[in-house]
Amino acid sequence: MRTEQPKMIYLKDYQAPDYLIDETHLTFELFDDHTLVHAQLVMRRNPAAGSGLSDARMPPLVLDGQQLELLSVALDDRELSAGDYQLSDSHLTLQPTAASFVIDSSVRIHPESNTALEGLYKSSGMFCTQCEAEGFRKITYYLDRPDVMSKFTTTLSAEQHSYPVLLSNGNPIASGSEEGGRHWATWEDPFMKPAYLFALVAGDLWCVEDSFTTMSSREVALRIYVEPENIDKCQHAMDSLKKSMTWDEEVYGREYDLDIFMIVAVNDFNMGAMENKGLNIFNSSCVLARAETATDAAHQRVEAVVAHEYFHNWSGNRVTCRDWFQLSLKEGFTVFRDSQFSADMNSATVKRIEDVAYLRTHQFAEDAGPMAHPVRPESFMEISNFYTLTVYEKGSEVVRMIRTLVGDAGFRQGSDLYFERHDGQAVTCDDFIKAMEDANGVDLSQFKRWYSQGGTPRLVVSEAYDAAAKTYSLTFRQSCPATPGQRDKQPFVIPVELGLLGAQGQALPLRLVGEAAAGATSRVISITETEQLVTFVDVAEQP
């Protein structure tokens, strides 16, 4: 087998995939010492691919796959032999001969000895998965990239006594028993999704069950699965889930779409949680909370993480990322959404102070160090290193600034347009901005520098009051330190919301030079230049 060296990947090199996978049919046979994975991929040439080859000659099909033992592969029911394909430690390459075809493959994998917590692994006696960002390639040969979206059907079989619960994405459509004490279940996910949103769980789990009626009166079953000893610690997560579902309907007009929504608590999990379609998998610490033993902060964390993962169903799953450079498209927006939710559920002021303190302490440090990178990085070797405070927290603040610029109503119109335009698609941060621009008739081209330039800008303000002329001037100067690979920065668009107070603490009317009459006592000024003078007139006293 050939060994491939990891290489740098650049945003500017993005190319649409040569092939699409319309349907993905997976069968998992789970055993204690190995797992067999059979994958049937219904594929076709991507009409939008730009490989430049004439239709007569099909480009090679390069499937991703790592740490897989290939047992068999067939193209349109024809079993391939070793000479028919090339195998390296990261790819399986073969040559399709028609524009539509079916690939069947079988591989053996070892979740029982997978300690990387990526792909399919075992945690406390249960099987579970983590596929974001590139874990699915450790499960089967596939086009493991987010712009390849497919309809998944998944069948799992396992020994019934140790693994009574068998879960995957979507809705359950069939189940039964097999000889030898085994059983099986089939799940079908009607929504197109990239492989990173695939999930599977098998184990001895108990569940807390509830239901939710959506805004169009559809009944959704809600289940939280935990190990039996934790069954008394799920109520807060369930309450948080129902609040999140209501809030997303009311504030963003977003309704849940499957018949069932599940959360599974797992003890060994690298991230807080994962938004797999219909089957969120959580680190136990982000699910379990009981009033007698958990602090207020722990309760709020559970509420926030449950909300975050639930909100991804629209901002991430229904509309997903074209490539991993766009990670902040779903993460920045979803962190912003969960922070709005937490603000609405608790104290908005406290939440804002917490978020800003966290950003200043941790993200500013990242932005000032050797790892500093833009919200949308331009290159990476290993995407798992880019699940950063910059992509998440600064990404959220960038979305917040858009809302500050276009206002609450304009922001909602922009997000409605974004979801309507791109439902079922894998898109870019530019598409998000475009929807905000089109819905509001504004030009955000300079604003987009927030996505491409790293570093924490510094804004220095100086004031001057002219008592005789009754003018009050503010001079804003912005600068941004050099960051790795970026020496000179162009000025950002920095929205500054401000008001002026008189000696008695009263809000003073704000009238900019050149304006006919005073407007509101609080307004948003856009700082777009390196140095910008803002002058208010008719200011009766020194603010």
CB of 6 to ligand SER, least distance (A): 22
- 236, 186 contact by CB (below 8 A): no
Q: Report, in Å, the least distance between residue 280 CB and ligand SER.
A: 9
Cβ neighbours of residue 289 under 8 Å, at least 6 residues apart? 233, 236, 237, 298, 299, 302
Nearer of residues 64 and 275 to ligand SER, judged by Cβ: 275
The one of Zn ion, ligand SER, none whose footprint includes residue 431, by CB under 5 to 8 A per kind, is none
Residue 11: closest CA among 477, 380, 403: 380
Which residues of the shown chain bind Zn ion in the complex (CB under 5 A)? Answer: 331, 334
Nearest to 415 by CA among 497, 319, 326: 319
Handedness of CA 120, 385, 381, 326 (dihedral sign): positive
Q: Coil, helix or strand for 137?
A: helix
Nearer to ligand SER, 80 or 266 (CB): 266
CA–CA–CA angle 435, 439, 444 (5° rounding): 60
- State the nearest-atom distance from the C-beta of 315 to Zn ion, in Å: 9
Q: Which is nearer to ligand SER, 187 or 269 (CB)?
A: 269
Distance between CA atoms of 31 and 277, rounded to whole angstroms? 25
Q: Which does 273 bind (CB under 5 to 8 A by kind): ligand SER, Zn ion, none?
A: ligand SER
Q: How far is the CB of 269 from ligand SER (least distance, A)?
A: 9
Question: What is the token pair recorded at 164?
Answer: 């009574």
Please, what is the minimum distance in Å from the beta carbon of residue 275 to ligand SER? 5
State how far the Cα of 313 lies from the Cα of 283, in Å rounded to an integer: 18
Residues that bind ligand SER (CB under 6 A): 132, 271-275, 308-309, 331
For 471, the token pair is 């003018």
* Beta carbons of 155 and 70 less than 8 angstroms apart: no
Of these partners, Zn ion, ligand SER, none, which one is at the site of residue 442 (CB under 5 to 8 Å by kind)? Answer: none
23 assigned to active site: no
Residues 193 and 187: their CA atoms lie apart, in Å, by 14
Separation of alpha carbons 498 and 523, rounded Å: 6
Closest contact distance (angstroms) between CB of 75 and ligand SER is 34
**For residue 133, cis peptide bond before it (omega within 30 degrees of 0):** yes
The angle formed by the CA atoms of residues 402, 393 and 249, to the nearest 5 degrees, is: 60
Residue 304 CB, nearest distance to ligand SER (Å)? 11
- Give 322's DSSP letter: S
Task: Report whether 170 contacts 97 (CB < 8 A).
Answer: no
Cα separation of 460 and 304, whole Å?
Answer: 34
HEC string of 166-211 equals: EEECCEEEEEEECHHHEEEEEEEEEEEECHHHCCEEEECCEEEEEE
**Shorter beta-carbon distance to ligand SER: residue 29 or 309:** 309
Point out the catalytic residue in the list 29, 118, 309, 331.
309
Q: Alpha-carbon Rg of the chain, whole angstroms? A: 26
Minimal distance in Å, beta carbon 384 to ligand SER? 10
Residue 45 vs 277, nearer CB to Zn ion = 277
Quote the CA–CA distance of 414 and 442 in Å, as a whole number: 11
**Residue 354, C-beta contacts closer than 8 angstroms, at least 6 positions apart:** none
Task: Find all residues with CB under 8 Å of 523, minimum gap 6, and list them.
Answer: 497, 498, 499, 510
CB-neighbour burial class of residue 421 (10 A; exposed 0-12, middle 13-18, buried 19+): middle
Which residue number places its CB atom closest to ligand SER? Answer: 271
Residues serving a catalytic function are: 309
